[in-house]
Structure 1
Amino acid sequence: MLIGKAVRKERIFNRNTDRTIIVPMDHGVTVGPIDGLLDMREAINNVAEGGANAVLMHKGLVRCSHRGRGRDVGLIIHLSASTTLSPFPNAKILVGSVEDALKLGADAISLHVNLGDDTERHMLEDFGRITSKATEWGMPVLAMMYARGPKIENEYDVEVVKHCARVGEEIGADVVKVNYTGDMDSFSKVVEACCIPVVIAGGPKANNARDIIQMAHDSVMAGGAGLSIGRNIFQYKQPARIVQALHGVVHLNWEVDQAMELLQD
């Protein structure tokens, strides 16, 4: 690994645990300005103070998000976009470049690929081109890999998730983000089949915090490298507190009950 890439990766991963807590905040492009992301500086302060390793956003939000104070946190610039207003919401298109991210001081970039979509070939072409350019610059790449299309019966099926992770690995990602398969045994098979760090997505807004804590605990016990969770963090009633609880699970190997004690009023 180039030294520049190694340095940048250590800004988004805990160098002692080789795990990470990433908080995506790119939802505004997809669904609009939702609760939890109206005041971006406050949102980032909350998760940074809780112990998040990195936040993820589109390039235009950086000017609304730079704090100049408080605890530091890694920055990942997201290069893919689509909206729920489109008749083709799963068709992601590039809206930024590696050079854009470098100019903004980013520590990594991310892309979103929906395997199985009618436009899969275009997303994979973009993915390959971006990973080649990122290698030239020593920029780490996080690939958000999902299976969404007419042939996909269950996007959480272990064989489907394994395929998603493997595509991300083979086309040049440094970290891959996939759905959690629901239990430790099946998720361990995803991790075993991939030689790069695997982090889990948070999915829809959860009914309770214990579900998120349990999923985080089980994923890292299965060999996962951490979390990339958005609304289940920034829309929680106390975002900093739930990040602290997740930090305990991901980086300190806490049990679920120990983490839940932090969330008791």
Structure 2
Amino acid sequence: MLGVERMSKAIRLSRLFNGQTGNTVLLPVDHGILGEVQGLEDPIEVLERLIPLGVDGVLMNNGIRLRSESLFYGRLAPSRILSSDTFYLEEGAMHHDLIAMPETALQAGCDCVKVLLFWNRPGSENMHNIRMISELVKEAERCQIPVMIEPLLYDPVPDAKTKIKALTDATRIAYELGADILKVVHPGEHEVLKQWVGKFKVPLVMLGGGLNGGVDDLIRLVDQAVKAGVRGVAIGRNVWQRPKEESERVMRMFTEVVHGRIS
């Protein structure tokens, strides 16, 4: 029985990655939990438009999951990753908590849950995040649902060296907490990213952050990351905040680069 339980989690994890290349193109549309977001006023329209262009999986909140279910019918439909948390700031303090548990993802047929790990915060907040994620990982293991952890820095850091050290610490902590997938920001140095791939023995996917730069620079960054061993991308705002034709071109290029069709 134990082997069957382990296999069920492995099967769900495998659904997030292309069977031929082992890589993935994930589309996050979960930003609206913080309020209205430019480019994501109609998440269903975004999904209808971009899913056919090579999306392997979608990160979403529970409300969008309920309203988009028909887009995920069929054997070749993308996987769904349920976002499990949200946060708010009040007078400098961060309130960060869970809003969806692994059991919800299991009952909904999702293949993974995702949670944020903010690290360079006051000690009490860091400890809250560690306890919260530990409980989520424990519950996800019971449900045999993989966990994607996204280590992030919220407060500014004084220089690039300090930022890299803080990001590396946060990524190590996410790994130690039991991440099955790490959704990481590019640390700013290609060699550091390669070191992460070597040290953290789970798939890494790269997030994109806010809309910035031109398409060519973005694609070049993704190409370098994949060549370093990153297993794909989870980029939302840098796609759907662009004009529609450009966003569709970016999504097609992600698919080509991540799955090795161009280099």
Verify: 1:74 aligned to 2:79, yes or no. yes
Q: Does 1:219 pair with 2:222?
A: no
Is structure 2 residue 49 aligned with structure 1 residue 46? yes
Residue of structure 2 equivalent to 1:170: 176
CA distance in 1, matches of 2:196, 2:106: 31
> What is the CA-CA distance between 1:43 and the residue it aligns to?
1.0
1:194 is the counterpart of 2:197: no
**Residues 1:235 and 2:238 aligned together:** no
**2-side partners of 1:155 and 1:18: how far apart?**
32
Distance 1:192 1:160, change over 3 A: farther
The aligned amino acid for 1:39 is D
Which deviates the most, 202-211 or 87-96? 87-96
Matches within 5 A, 1:82-231: 82-83=87-88, 86-88=90-92, 90-118=94-122, 119-149=125-155, 152-154=157-159, 157-231=163-237
* Larger helix fraction of residues: 2
Asked whether the 8 Å contact 2:24–2:233 carries over to 1, the reply is yes
The answer for the alignment partner of 1:12 in structure 2 is: 16
Moved more, 64-73 or 196-205: 64-73
In the TM superposition, what is the alpha-carbon distance from 1:149 to its structure 2 partner?
Answer: 3.8
Matched position secondary structure for 2:179: coil
Q: What is the aligned partner in structure 2 of residue 3 from structure 1?
A: 7
Moved more, 57-66 or 139-148: 57-66
Cα distance per residue 1:87-115 (max 9 Å; x no partner): 45754211111111112221110000101
For the residues of structure 1 that align with 2:52 and 2:115, how far apart are their CA atoms?
Answer: 26
Distance 1:196 1:155, change over 3 A: farther
Aligned residue pairs total 252
Deviations 1:217-265 (A, max 9, x none): 111111111111111112222333311100111112522xxxxxxxxxx
| TM-score (ref. length: structure 1) | 0.87
The one of 62, 66, 75 aligned to 1:63: 66
Instruction: List runs of 5+ in structure 1 lacking aligned partners.
Output: 256-265
- The alignment status of 1:24 with 2:28, answered yes or no, reads yes
Q: Could you list the runs of 5+ residues in structure 2 that have no partner in the other structure?
A: none
